[in-house]
Structure 1
Amino acid sequence: MPDDATPDPYTDPLAFGQRMQILRTRRGLSRPVVAGLLGMSPSWVKQVETGQIGMPKLPVILRIAELLRVRDLSDLTGDQSAPVELFVGPGHSRLPAVRNAVNALTLNADQEAPSTEHLAARLTKAWAARHQAANHREVLGELLPGLIRDAQLAVRQSDSASARRAAQAALSEVYSLAQFFIAYQPDPALLWRVAERGMVAAQESEDPHAIGVAAWLAAQAHRDTGPDHFDAADSMALEALAYMERFLPEADERVHAIAGALQFEAAYTAARRGESGTAWGWWDKAQATARHLSATYYHPVTSFSQAIMGAHAVTVAVELRAGGESVRQAVAADATAIPSRPRLARHRIEEARAYHLDGQAETALATLEKAHKAAPETIKYNGYARRIVLEETESKFPARRQRAAALAGQLGLLAA
Structure 2
Amino acid sequence: MSSDASPDPFAEPIAFGQRMQILRTRRGMSRGVLAGLLGRSPSWVKQVEGGRLQMPKLPMVLRIAEALRARDLSELTGDQSRAIHLFTGPGHARLPHVRNAINEFPLTTRREAPSPVHLRERLVRAWSARHSAPNHRDVIGALLPDLIRDAQLAVLQADTAWERRAAQGLLAEAYSLSQFFIAYQPDTSLLWRVVERGMVAAQESEDPHTIGVSAWLATQAHRDSGHAHFDAADAVNLETIRYLEPLLSDAGNDVLAISGALQFEAGYTAARRGDTGTAWRYWDTARALAKRLPADYYHPVTSFSRAVMGAHAVTIAVELHAGAESVRQAAAADTATIPSRPRRARHRIEEARGYQLDGQPEAALATLDKAYEAAPETIRYNGYARRIVLEEADSKSPSQRRRASQLAVKIGVLAA
Bin for the TM-score computed over the shorter chain: over 0.9
Instruction: Answer yes or no: is 1:261 the counterpart of 2:261.
Output: yes
Instruction: Give yes or no for contact 2:97–2:145 (8 Å, CA) kept in 1.
Output: yes
Instruction: Answer yes or no: is 1:206 the counterpart of 2:203.
Output: no
Secondary structure at the counterpart of residue 278 of structure 1: helix
Percentage of identical aligned residues = 70
Instruction: Answer yes or no: is 1:353 the counterpart of 2:353.
Output: yes
State the partner residue of 1:76. Answer: 76
| Counterpart Cα distance in 1 of 2:6 and 2:122 | 49
Instruction: Answer yes or no: is 1:333 the counterpart of 2:333.
Output: yes
State the partner residue of 2:302. Answer: 302
State the partner residue of 1:367. Answer: 367
Matches within 5 A, 1:169-318: 169-318=169-318
| Counterpart Cα distance in 2 of 1:22 and 1:168 | 42
44-53 or 294-303: which moved more? 44-53
Amino acid at match of 2:152: Q
Amino acid at match of 1:269: T
Q: How big is the shift at 1:95?
A: 0.3
| Counterpart Cα distance in 2 of 1:89 and 1:16 | 23
| Counterpart Cα distance in 2 of 1:284 and 1:249 | 18
Q: How big is the shift at 1:116?
A: 0.8
| Counterpart Cα distance in 2 of 1:190 and 1:29 | 25
Matches within 5 A, 1:404-415: 404-415=404-415
| Counterpart Cα distance in 1 of 2:70 and 2:52 | 23
Q: How big is the shift at 1:109?
A: 3.9
| Counterpart Cα distance in 1 of 2:49 and 2:119 | 54
Instruction: Give yes or no for contact 2:29–2:228 (8 Å, CA) kept in 1.
Output: no
| Counterpart Cα distance in 2 of 1:185 and 1:301 | 19
State the partner residue of 1:380. Answer: 380
Secondary structure at the counterpart of residue 305 of structure 2: coil
Q: How big is the shift at 1:199?
A: 0.5
State the partner residue of 1:160. Answer: 160
| TM-score of the superposed pair, with normalisation by structure 2 | 0.98
Q: How big is the shift at 1:44?
A: 2.1
Instruction: Give yes or no for contact 2:323–2:354 (8 Å, CA) kept in 1.
Output: yes
| Counterpart Cα distance in 1 of 2:206 and 2:141 | 28
Deviations 1:135-187 (A, max 9, x none): 10000000000100100010000010000000000000010001000000000
**Residues 34 and 144 of structure 1: CA distance in aligned 2, closer, same or farther (over 3 Å):** same
Q: How big is the shift at 1:13?
A: 1.4
State the partner residue of 2:35. Answer: 35
State the partner residue of 2:393. Answer: 393
Amino acid at match of 1:323: G
Structure 2 unaligned regions, length at least 5: none
| Counterpart Cα distance in 1 of 2:360 and 2:381 | 23
4+ residue runs over 6 A deviation:
none
State the partner residue of 1:126. Answer: 126
Instruction: Answer yes or no: is 1:59 the counterpart of 2:59.
Output: yes
Amino acid at match of 1:202: A
Q: How big is the shift at 1:191?
A: 0.5
Deviations 1:221-264 (A, max 9, x none): 00000111111101111111111122222321001100000000
128-137 or 17-26: which moved more? 17-26
Instruction: Answer yes or no: is 1:97 the counterpart of 2:97.
Output: yes
State the partner residue of 2:17. Answer: 17
Amino acid at match of 1:319: E
2-11 or 139-148: which moved more? 2-11
Secondary structure at the counterpart of residue 54 of structure 2: coil
Secondary structure at the counterpart of residue 191 of structure 1: helix
Amino acid at match of 2:399: A
| TM-score of the superposed pair, with normalisation by structure 1 | 0.98
Deviations 1:36-73 (A, max 9, x none): 32122333222211112211110000000011111110
Deviations 1:79-112 (A, max 9, x none): 0111111001000000000000000111234211
Instruction: Give yes or no for contact 2:169–2:201 (8 Å, CA) kept in 1.
Output: yes
Q: How big is the shift at 1:195?
A: 0.7
State the partner residue of 1:111. Answer: 111
| Counterpart Cα distance in 1 of 2:194 and 2:30 | 33
Amino acid at match of 1:150: D
Instruction: Give yes or no for contact 2:353–2:384 (8 Å, CA) kept in 1.
Output: yes
| Counterpart Cα distance in 2 of 1:190 and 1:30 | 29
Q: How big is the shift at 1:10?
A: 2.1
Secondary structure at the counterpart of residue 413 of structure 2: coil
Structure 1 unaligned regions, length at least 5: none
Q: How big is the shift at 1:27?
A: 2.1
- C-alpha RMSD of the superposition: 0.9
